[in-house]
Amino acid sequence: MGVGIFLSRISGLVREIVFARFFGTSAVADVWRALLRVPNVIQNLLGEGTLSASFIPIYAEFLEDGREEDAGRFAGAILGLVMVAAFSTALVGILLAPWLVPLLFPRWTPAQVAIGIDVLRILFIMTATLSVSAWALGVLNSHRRFLVSYAAPVAWNVGLIGAIGVFGGLLGWELDALVVALSWGGVVGGLLQLGVQLPWLLPLLRGFRLSLDRRVEGVADAIRAFGPVVAARGVVNLSSLVDVVLAGLLAVGALSVLGYAQILYLFPISLFGMSVAAAELPEMSRQRREATEALADRVRTALDRLAFVLVPTTLAFLTLGDTFVAALFQGGRFGPEGTAATYAVLAGYSLGLPASAASRTLSSSFYALRDTRTPALIAGWRVLVSIVVGASLMFPFDQFSVGSGEGALRLGAVGLALGAAVGSWLEYGLLRRRLGERIGPHAPETGRRLRRWVAGFAAVAVGLGAKLWLGSLVPAHAGWQVEALGADSKGLAILLAVGTGGSFGVAYLAFCHLLGVGIPLRSVLRRR
């Protein structure tokens, strides 16, 4: 699963690098960032996270009991319901697009609104296809087939990259027409994402029959679980949508900067947090009937593994994030101001990174216990706090800017990122407390956690030293600061990122080994 998500996220980074070069932090880039989020809310409600919580526990129990025919009928009924919900919602969204765009983004210019209506309609079509693809992922995960399902989004990214390359690079279309072509590339990519899973999916479906029959065994239980999960995912996605709407009230470029920062911030959450949570959910569901000590031990091990990678990732983003942003995005229409603003937003998000990723595993523990209500309620508090804190901070931060002249970018999006960080820690604390009441102590040893942070801070010193030394090799007219590197210095920015990041990573592994909090790689590789 980790390999599949890694491939998916790497292709996503390539997509964002290409996007940054052609669109930068322009007004059209803001349109794409904002409107991609609107149908994403539907995809997340009907897709991977919701199906994982309501579908996989029941389907996995059918398989564990050897009832493969019943599992196939159950999967067919769920697919029918998902398709009806996804495509009917998409149709409503297409019809309401002319009213949704100006309602959600009242400060947009008439040109932005006109482009946005076309883009939103196309993206609703894409979203319905991706929701069906998420059902395929749930089936494959339950059969312990993780690689193809989590690598499938590479096909979606290929569709988007191909659209930019052909219509932007070869044909030289203007941004207004290019963003529409990019939207159709997303539709093609969604179909490809579903298609690449079919050869592995079809042989697993014994007794499968597409239907809308709610009388099929397990469907009623899934629907009962579906409501609270939709509520939980709904409030979380509402939070992300509100962030986009609030960012739309800020200066031009805020939506783009927020999107670029989220790409890096969500990378470790997807690669580590989601992969561990999704891999553990079927296994914890199989152990639901066993003693709570077994589940507590499994949660403890998962949290310890997450901490091993989340501690250095958080510290690296906070202290070295500007080098990563410059190496990935700077160039073309993405200038030094974009690098500085994106780094500031990334730092704000990173403060909540350990909590946000670990909460995925904690929520999966409740889903395995067939408790979807508790994570839903806690997610509601997280969203409320995130919105209140973010909205109160964004306008004060918008008084500050980076750069000068027409290229200057304001930092109001930093306030939204800080609000998300505060909400993440609230959610993590409440989930830990409630789960402790259900299964008892489940936290990794305190001493191990402290030693791991010590190793992380020691690695930061090494990384900053490497950054200063490598910066001395950069020509004097550029200086060592990443923000001073022009578009023609892309190679220097990459050298700086690889050198500092590599030094930091090696130092962290070494310090963890010395402090006795490393991961036994030899035994892990032998098991895998």
Taking only the tens place, the pLDDT of each residue in 236-261 is 667 777 888 888 888 888 888 998 99
pLDDT at residue 510, as a whole number: 93
Distance of CA 116 to CAs 110, 131, 309, 333, Å?
10, 22, 39, 21
Rounded Cα distance, 180 and 173, in Å: 10
User: In the chain, pLDDT over 70 holds for what percent of residues?
Assistant: 85
* In the predicted structure, residue 427 carries a pLDDT above the cut 90: yes
pLDDT at residue 167, as a whole number: 95
Rounded Cα distance, 132 and 82, in Å: 7
pTM: 0.79
B/e letters for 359-398, b = 16+ CB within 10 Å, e = fewer, are: bbbbbbbbbbbbbbebbbebbbebbebbbebbbebbeebb
Of the pLDDT bands very low, low, confident and very high (cuts 50, 70, 90), residue 488 is very low
Question: Region 60-73: what's the mean pLDDT?
Answer: 82
pLDDT at residue 229, as a whole number: 64
- Residue scoring higher pLDDT (371 or 466): 466
Residue corresponding to tokens 């993780």 = 146
Rounded Cα distance, 466 and 381, in Å: 42
pLDDT at residue 149, as a whole number: 85
- Residue scoring higher pLDDT (467 or 365): 467
pLDDT at residue 283, as a whole number: 60
Of the pLDDT bands very low, low, confident and very high (cuts 50, 70, 90), residue 454 is very high
Question: Region 50-59: what's the mean pLDDT?
Answer: 71
* In the predicted structure, residue 327 carries a pLDDT above the cut 70: yes
Mean pLDDT is lowest, of 40-54, 305-319, 423-437, for 40-54
Of the pLDDT bands very low, low, confident and very high (cuts 50, 70, 90), residue 277 is low
Question: pLDDT of 112-132, one tens digit each?
Answer: 999 999 999 999 999 888 888
Rounded Cα distance, 62 and 138, in Å: 14
- Sign of the CA dihedral running 477, 481, 484, 489: positive
Give me 9's structure tokens: 């996220």
Give me 461's structure tokens: 């010193």
pLDDT at residue 478, as a whole number: 40
- Residue 88's Cβ-count burial label (10 Å; 0-12, 13-18, 19+) is exposed
Q: Which residues contact 499 (CB under 8 A, 6 or more apart)?
A: 466, 467, 470
pLDDT at residue 126, as a whole number: 92
Question: pLDDT of 15-53, one tens digit each?
Answer: 999 999 899 888 999 999 999 887 777 766 665 555 666
Q: CB neighbours (10 Å) of residue 47?
A: 23
Question: Region 300-305: what's the mean pLDDT?
Answer: 83
Question: Region 176-201: what's the mean pLDDT?
Answer: 94
* In the predicted structure, residue 513 carries a pLDDT above the cut 50: yes
pLDDT at residue 480, as a whole number: 39
